[in-house]
Amino acid sequence: MLLQTVTPVSVLGTTVLLALFLSVTAHVAARNVLGTVDPRRALYIGPLPAVISVAGNALDAPGGLIVLAALLVDGTMFWWSYGQPRRAVAAMTLIHAVVTTLLGMVLFFVSILLASMPG
């Protein structure tokens, strides 16, 4: 078992990278539902769910509670950022969750493949 030290820099770096990842996938979701949108609006969506995820895991909160809180904040941020009706916000939030999960899985499995490369 490898013991790793958690530093404030590592927590901040993880939060910032997760926020950027969530912002990119939020933009993909918004484009899917609304068509052409300003990519800067998606930058408002990623940070709060990222903070909830990192803080929830640091506090050892139940995973279902973290996901539920992140999804609620995600939907609220879509509504605030894009000003759309509930149905469009729900569609964007659902698509955002699906795209984030799928892209996260692809990146995770690619990292496993790269780590297990011979030589």
Residue found under tokens 């909160």: 61
Rounded distance between C-alpha atoms, residue 64 and residue 88, angstroms = 24
Contact 84/26 with Cβ under 8 angstroms? no
* Strand ranges for 4-63 from DSSP E: none
How far apart are the C-alpha atoms of 81 and 100, rounded to whole Å?
Answer: 19
Per-residue pLDDT reduced to its tens digit, 2-60: 667 888 898 999 999 999 999 999 999 999 999 999 999 999 999 999 999 999 998 99
Around 92, how many Cα atoms within 13 Å sit in the side-chain half-sphere?
A: 33
Place of tokens 């995973």: 63
In this predicted model, what pLDDT tens digit does every residue of 48-73 receive, in sequence order?
999 999 999 989 999 999 999 999 99
